[in-house]
């Protein structure tokens, strides 16, 4: 299927060598990686493989000239602060933060250690960086969404399930990146004739209660906002949507490949692979705060025809032709 490329504002990335961090021949460098996911999560392992592949292409080979310390919080936000402190105490040359709460925890602990974030939707709004072009301080990274995508998710529901009039938006109220998504969805809802219900969830029982309650009335559908809670409990959300015959739009391909109806979002493997270029620059002496925040360049529209059939939906052929992938 056709792949769409999105051209985004990147800005120039000038590098100033720092003698203290310049690579010496034969020297092994050390980086930390703090993730908000479980080590057993196959998707998270795929992202780490993409990061390591990107690093290897740039000459950084794990257990040869690069040592990597991984810390996994298992979606337990309360553990992130302790794990962040643990990584900082190892005095690595750089720490990679996967997810918003991981970056926030690291920034509270690390005043000079360079931090490279991935999977953060609005680093300026939540105060991680001063601006996209000039982050400043000891942090920069790769953003994974523009909040206007919330309107696109509603459009996808109308395209795939035109009978939808009610939408429950599944989000984590404790995640600071969620509000702009909700605002974008709220703004677009009248254009598509949608009545919205905000379903704030922090754990599996709250997810189950929210979806079960919403499903009591007809013509409903779901939008699942990206965060650690919905990613960790994606199988539960997909199972509940299937049980109640609720069409749903998800933020990542792995929701759809696990049985969800349709997903539209950034290619996370590509994002981590690209992040390797900044690891390389920082290890070679560039200040993290001098590197502009990079925006995503590859988005994926994926439709699961088996899920559509189970929901009694017929997906129009023109829509299928626009998808990057159709799962049979």
Tell which residue, 251, 249, 250, has the closest CA to residue 266.
251
Q: How confident is the model at residue 148 (pLDDT cuts 50, 70, 90)?
A: confident
The full set of domain ranges for the chain reads 19-145+266-298, 149-250
pLDDT at position 98 is 93
For the ranges 16-20, 112-116, 126-130, 152-156, the lowest mean pLDDT is seen at 16-20
Percentage, residues of the chain above pLDDT 70: 92
Q: How far apart are CA 299 and CA 20, in angstroms?
A: 38
Identify the residue whose tokens are 């953003």: 143
Q: Residue range 222-246: average pLDDT?
A: 95
Would you list the DSSP string of 24-86?
Answer: PTTPPEEEEEEESS-TT-HHHHHHHHHHHHHHHHTT--BTTTEEEEEEE-TT-HHHHHHHHHH
Identify the residue whose tokens are 């920069």: 140
- Selected residue with higher pLDDT from 8 and 185: 185
Q: How confident is the model at residue 175 (pLDDT cuts 50, 70, 90)?
A: confident
HEC assignment per residue over 220-250: EEEEECCCHHHHHCHHHHHHHHHHCCCCEEE
Q: Residue range 42-68: average pLDDT?
A: 96
Q: Residue range 81-106: average pLDDT?
A: 95
pLDDT at position 21 is 41
Q: Is the pLDDT of residue 1 over 90?
A: no
Question: What letters, b where the CB count within 10 A reaches 16 and e where it falls short, cover 53-67?
Answer: ebbeeeebeeeeebe
Interacting residues of 248 by C-beta distance below 8 A, sequence separation 6+: 221, 222, 223, 224, 237, 238, 241, 260, 261, 262
What dotted CATH number matches 19-145+266-298? 3.40.50.2300
pLDDT at position 26 is 59
pLDDT at position 298 is 85
Q: How confident is the model at residue 77 (pLDDT cuts 50, 70, 90)?
A: confident
Q: How far apart are CA 64 and CA 78, in angstroms?
A: 34
φ and ψ at 110, to 5 degrees? -105, 115
pLDDT at position 76 is 78
Q: How confident is the model at residue 16 (pLDDT cuts 50, 70, 90)?
A: very low
Q: How confident is the model at residue 199 (pLDDT cuts 50, 70, 90)?
A: very high
Q: Is the pLDDT of residue 9 over 80?
A: no
For the ranges 5-9, 254-258, 260-264, the lowest mean pLDDT is seen at 5-9
Q: Is the pLDDT of residue 12 over 70?
A: no
Q: Is the pLDDT of residue 89 over 90?
A: yes
Report angle CA 283, 287, 292 to the nearest 5 degrees: 110
Q: How confident is the model at residue 185 (pLDDT cuts 50, 70, 90)?
A: very high
Q: Are 256 and 327 in contact (CB under 8 A)?
A: yes
Q: Residue range 255-265: average pLDDT?
A: 96
Q: Residue range 44-60: average pLDDT?
A: 96
Q: Residue range 244-271: average pLDDT?
A: 95
Length of the chain, please?
A: 328
Q: Is the pLDDT of residue 281 over 90?
A: yes
- Selected residue with higher pLDDT from 9 and 149: 149
Q: Residue range 201-224: average pLDDT?
A: 97
| Residue range 111-127, pLDDT digits in tens | 899 999 998 888 998 88
pLDDT at position 187 is 96
Give the distance from CA 88 to its chain's centroid: 23
φ and ψ at 222, to 5 degrees? -125, 145
Q: Residue range 300-318: average pLDDT?
A: 95
Q: How far apart are CA 323 and CA 92, in angstroms?
A: 42
Q: Residue range 238-254: average pLDDT?
A: 97
CATH superfamily of 149-250: Response regulator (3.40.50.2300)
Domains 19-145+266-298 and 149-250 share a fold: yes
φ and ψ at 301, to 5 degrees? -110, 115
Looking only at the bridges linking them, the beta strands covering 220-224 and 195-200 are unpaired
- Selected residue with higher pLDDT from 132 and 147: 132
Q: How far apart are CA 143 and CA 141, in angstroms?
A: 7
Model pTM?
0.84
């Amino acid at each position: 299927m056709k792949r769409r490329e999105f051209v985004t504002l990147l800005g120039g990335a000038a590098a100033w060598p720092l003698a203290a961090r310049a690579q010496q021949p034969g020297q092994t460098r050390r980086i930390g990686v703090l993730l908000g996911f479980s080590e057993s999560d196959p998707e998270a392992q795929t992202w780490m493989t993409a990061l390591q592949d990107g690093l290897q292409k740039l000459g950084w080979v794990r257990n040869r000239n690069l040592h990597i310390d991984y810390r996994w919080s298992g979606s337990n936000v309360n553990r992130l602060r302790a794990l962040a402190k643990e990584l900082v105490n190892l005095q690595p040359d750089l720490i990679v933060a996967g997810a918003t709460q991981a970056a926030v925890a690291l920034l509270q602990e690390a005043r000079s250690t360079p931090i490279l974030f991935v999977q953060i939707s609005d680093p300026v709004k939540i105060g991680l960086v001063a601006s996209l072009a000039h982050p400043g301080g000891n942090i920069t990274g790769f953003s994974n969404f523009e909040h206007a995508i919330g309107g696109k998710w509603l459009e996808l529901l109308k395209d795939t399930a035109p009978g939808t009039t009610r939408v429950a938006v599944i989000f984590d109220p404790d995640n600071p990146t969620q509000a702009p998504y909700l605002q974008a969805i709220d703004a677009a809802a009248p254009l598509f004739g949608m009545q919205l219900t905000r379903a704030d969830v922090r754990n599996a029982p709250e997810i189950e209660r929210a979806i079960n309650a919403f499903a009591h009335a007809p013509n409903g559908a779901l939008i699942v906002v990206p965060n650690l809670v919905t990613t960790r409990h994606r199988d539960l959300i997909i199972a509940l949507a299937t049980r109640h015959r609720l069409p749903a739009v998800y933020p990542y391909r792995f929701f759809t490949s696990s049985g969800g109806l349709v997903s539209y979002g950034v290619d996370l493997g590509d994002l981590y692979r690209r992040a390797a270029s900044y690891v390389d620059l920082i290890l070679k002496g560039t200040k993290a705060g001098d590197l502009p925040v990079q925006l995503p360049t590859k988005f994926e529209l994926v439709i699961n025809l088996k899920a559509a059939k189970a929901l009694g939906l017929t997906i129009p052929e023109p829509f299928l032709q626009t998808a990057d992938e159709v799962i049979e």
